[in-house]
């Protein structure tokens, strides 16, 4: 599992398996809702080297023969000794490595407790790139590979993701990562200048994408609220965001999120209509200014030049157009 600790893989298998309640996954008092049994696919792996045991579970919901929608990754570990060393490995992997899971720069929301025992991150995520890369924790990627390969499913390229992390000095780890294939709910162009419209640098320019991400964020905040409460995490992080109400339950936020759709083609058509309307307004304004110039009084002339100047300052007309129209008025 971990190169630094040379943990030997003793148990390696990928299979379907069942629970007493197939729609729930329990970690102590934390209950994680899974998917419809008729649509659910899953993969499992466990590794152990005497003093540390780690379990990896991935669940996904098929939306057709080749694709999945939501995905849930659950990783748990416990250590009998060398807890500090195990914790330091996890902190390096999640926060300090070259391809750290938690990266503030590309996150929509990033919250950690001071010692990073408790953390939440929300972002757009390239799952395909993650599965293909290499690092010191290859079992995480291999459990995904098994899921996709064994079920003849395409690997999602980009997804929305929320990571919920709890790690202690004893080497205990609970990592729950929710992912959502948003492409089934969004039609049209997802990029601007080669960068996703969900990227922090772009998202404020696209209100519908921001609203979609805000709803995903509210759902993630509620999930983390239960995460830290049910796992009895002492060092809780403050969960605050616009329009987030912690009195609402997970079902409320999940229903809000899954009911959203974005049709980029409609957005593009609307923007094109607005652009044409603006251009037509500008054309008529120019015609109005130059119309019947020979009938203008001195006061009217000064008013028209002032209006031209305002149009120039606001960028409606260029400097050349301003000089030409002003000259035409003065000539007449």
Which comes out higher in pLDDT, residue 247 or 302?
247
The CA-to-CA distance between both ends of the chain, in Å, stands at 85
Q: Do 55 and 101 fall into the same domain?
A: yes
| Domains: count for the chain | 2
pLDDT, residue 261, reads 85
Q: At what angle do helices 264-290 and 319-331 cross, to 10 degrees?
A: 30
Parallel, antiparallel, or unpaired for β 262-263 and 186-187?
Answer: parallel
Q: Do 146 and 173 fall into the same domain?
A: yes
Other beta carbons within 10 angstroms of residue 117's beta carbon come to 19
Contact 124, 140 (CB under 8 A): no
Q: Do 61 and 121 fall into the same domain?
A: yes
Q: Do 77 and 161 fall into the same domain?
A: yes
Q: Do 222 and 302 fall into the same domain?
A: no
Q: Do 32 and 123 fall into the same domain?
A: yes
Q: Nearest-CA neighbor of 61 among 43, 79, 42?
A: 42
Q: Do 183 and 68 fall into the same domain?
A: yes
Which of 223, 238, 260 is the endpoint of a domain? 260
Question: 14-18, 84-88, 314-318: which range is least confident on average?
Answer: 14-18
Residue 248 pLDDT > 50: yes
Q: Do 247 and 290 fall into the same domain?
A: no
* Residues 287-314: tens digit of each pLDDT: 655 554 455 677 777 777 888 787 877 7
Q: Do 166 and 52 fall into the same domain?
A: yes
pLDDT, residue 18, reads 35
Measured CA to CA, the distance from residue 119 to residue 113 in angstroms comes to 6
Contact 147, 43 (CB under 8 A): yes
Q: Do 166 and 307 fall into the same domain?
A: no
Beta strands in the chain (DSSP E): 24-27, 30-33, 40-48, 52-62, 68-79, 109-112, 118-126, 158-167, 173-180, 186-187, 191-192, 195-196, 262-263
133-137, 281-285, 324-328: range with highest mean pLDDT: 133-137
Which of 260, 278, 306 is the endpoint of a domain? 260
* Residues 157-187: tens digit of each pLDDT: 899 999 999 999 999 999 999 999 998 788 8
**Distance from CA of residue 317 to its chain's centroid?**
40
Contact 232, 30 (CB under 8 A): no
pLDDT, residue 115, reads 92
Which of 260, 275, 290 is the endpoint of a domain? 260
Measured CA to CA, the distance from residue 112 to residue 85 in angstroms comes to 20
- Determine the Cα angle at 229 with ends 52 and 243, to 5°: 125
Q: Do 280 and 211 fall into the same domain?
A: no
What's the pTM value of the predicted model, to 2 decimals?
0.75
**Percent of the chain residues topping a pLDDT of 70:** 83
Question: 15-19, 109-113, 128-132, 273-277: which range is least confident on average?
Answer: 15-19
Query: Residue written as tokens 């500008």?
Result: 282
Residue 60 pLDDT > 50: yes
pLDDT band at 9 (very low <50, low <70, confident <90, very high): very low
Question: 59-63, 68-72, 228-232, 288-292: which range is least confident on average?
Answer: 288-292
Task: Report, as an integer, the average pLDDT of 93-121.
Answer: 95
Task: Report, as an integer, the average pLDDT of 65-79.
Answer: 95
> Across the chain, what does the average pLDDT equal?
85
Boundaries of domain holding 9: 3-260
Q: Do 272 and 255 fall into the same domain?
A: no
């Amino acid at each position: 599992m971990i190169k630094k600790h040379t943990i030997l893989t003793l148990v390696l298998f990928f299979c379907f398996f069942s629970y007493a309640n197939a729609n729930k996954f329990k970690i102590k008092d934390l209950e994680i809702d899974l998917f419809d049994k008729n649509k659910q696919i899953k993969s499992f792996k466990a590794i152990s080297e005497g003093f540390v045991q780690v379990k990896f579970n991935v669940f996904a919901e098929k939306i057709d023969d080749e694709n999945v929608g939501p995905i849930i990754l659950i990783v748990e570990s416990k250590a009998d000794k060398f807890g500090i060393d195990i914790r330091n490995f996890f902190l390096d992997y999640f926060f300090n490595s070259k391809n750290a899971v938690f990266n503030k720069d590309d996150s929509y929301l990033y919250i950690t407790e001071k010692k990073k025992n408790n953390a939440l991150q929300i972002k757009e995520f390239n799952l395909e790139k993650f599965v293909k890369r290499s690092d010191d924790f290859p079992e995480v990627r291999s459990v995904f590979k098994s899921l996709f390969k064994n079920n003849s499913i395409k690997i999602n390229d980009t997804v929305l993701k929320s990571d919920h992390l709890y790690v202690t000095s004893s080497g205990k780890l609970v990592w729950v990562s929710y992912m959502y294939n948003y492409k089934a709910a969004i039609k049209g162009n997802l990029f601007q200048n080669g960068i996703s419209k969900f990227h922090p640098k772009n998202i404020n320019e696209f209100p519908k994408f921001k609203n979609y991400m805000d709803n995903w964020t509210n759902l993630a905040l509620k999930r983390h609220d239960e995460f830290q409460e049910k796992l009895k995490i002492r060092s809780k992080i403050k969960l605050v965001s616009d329009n987030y109400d912690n009195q609402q339950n997970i079902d409320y936020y999940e229903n809000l999120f899954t009911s959203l759709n974005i049709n980029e083609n409609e957005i593009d058509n609307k923007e094109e209509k607005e652009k044409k309307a603006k251009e037509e307004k500008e054309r008529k304004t120019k015609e109005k200014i130059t119309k019947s110039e020979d009938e203008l009084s001195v006061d009217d002339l000064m008013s028209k030049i002032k209006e031209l100047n305002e149009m120039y300052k606001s960028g409606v007309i260029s400097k050349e157009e301003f000089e030409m129209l002003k000259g035409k008025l003065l000539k007449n």
